[in-house]
């Protein structure tokens, strides 16, 4: 009887130890929201310039990681709360500065007014048009409101802006050039007559992590991403996704004012 009890206790101990060791430790969760052409989500498959670049950096750094797909608002909140969460494409702004750790910039997004069959627009001319389409809950929307724009048509996705502009239901889009081009092409819409105005707003898009992530992980990822510009990895992925005119901004110790 004693031997049976001993065997049972041993088995329970093995099960407990096994379940504990089976739990993944120190995995960094890379939170993904669709952001084409930079982040492309197709069901459970994640690809694009940013996932490929960060995946490569994590592998070179020896950092265990996994992808989780969320809508943008939930992604933001998830990384804000942690633990060990990373937002793969977050604009670094003064309002967000102290909420995250900013690992490294991925590219500089230049925000412009985009028209169809119409001359390029700057700020003053854009104020006079009928409607400007912009994605909600973004720095672009905040910028327009801060600068007194009243002719705003707010949507949840850039592809909606593309469809509305093609149908002449809005006069212009305020957004990124590459994202808008992709939204047009994705819906089979011609981009032949699109015009972009001068850059109005410049945003550094970063890999950002939750405040609890240890400094060893942050420094490893930062070093790998910095080296990607030197060893050709950055340009390799730019070419792969036809984003050759993008440039990698330098890491800043604080956000632009």
How high is the pLDDT of residue 59?
97
The residue among 213, 245, 201 whose CA lies nearest residue 102 is 213
For 66-92, how does the pLDDT look when each residue is reduced to its tens digit (9 = 90+)?
999 998 889 999 999 999 999 999 999
- Run of H or E residues at 65: strand 65-69
The DSSP secondary structure of 144-188, one letter per residue, reads: HHHTT---EEEES-HHHHHHHHHTTSSSEEEEEHHHHHHHHHHTT
Q: Would you say the CATH fold of 109-201 matches that of 26-107+205-240?
A: yes
**Does 158 sit behind a cis peptide bond, omega within 30 degrees of 0 on the bond before it?**
no
CA-based diameter of the chain, in Å?
Answer: 90
- Give the start-to-end residue ranges of the domains of the chain: 26-107+205-240, 109-201
- Report residues of the chain scoring pLDDT below 70: 1-25, 255-257
- Run of H or E residues at 59: helix 49-61
CATH code for 109-201?
3.40.190.10
CATH code for 26-107+205-240?
3.40.190.10
How high is the pLDDT of residue 249?
73
């Amino acid at each position: 009887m004693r031997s049976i009890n001993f065997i049972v206790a041993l088995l329970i101990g093995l099960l407990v130890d096994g379940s504990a060791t089976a739990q993944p430790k120190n995995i960094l969760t890379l939170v993904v929201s669709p952001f084409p052409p930079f982040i492309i989500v197709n069901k459970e498959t994640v690809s694009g310039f940013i996932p490929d670049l960060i995946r490569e950096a994590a592998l070179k750094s020896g950092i265990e990681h996994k992808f989780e797909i969320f809508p943008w608002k939930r992604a933001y909140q998830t990384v804000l709360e942690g633990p060990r969460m990373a937002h793969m494409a977050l604009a670094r702004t003064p309002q967000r500065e102290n909420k995250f750790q900013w690992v490294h910039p991925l590219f500089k997004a230049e925000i412009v007014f985009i028209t169809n069959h119409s001359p390029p627009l700057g700020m003053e001319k854009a104020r006079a048009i009928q409607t400007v389409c912009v994605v909600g809950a973004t720095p672009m929307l905040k910028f327009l409101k801060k600068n007194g724009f009243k002719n705003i048509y707010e949507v949840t996705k850039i592809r909606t802006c593309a469809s509305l502009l093609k149908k002449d239901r809005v006069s212009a889009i305020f957004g990124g050039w590459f994202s808008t081009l992709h939204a047009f092409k994705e819906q089979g819409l011609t981009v032949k007559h699109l015009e972009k105005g001068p850059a109005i707003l410049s945003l550094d898009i970063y890999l950002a992590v939750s405040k609890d992530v240890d400094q060893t992980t942050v420094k490893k990822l930062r070093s790998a991403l910095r080296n990607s510009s030197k060893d050709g990895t950055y340009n390799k992925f730019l070419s792969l996704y036809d984003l050759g005119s993008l440039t990698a901004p330098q890491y800043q110790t604080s956000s632009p004012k």
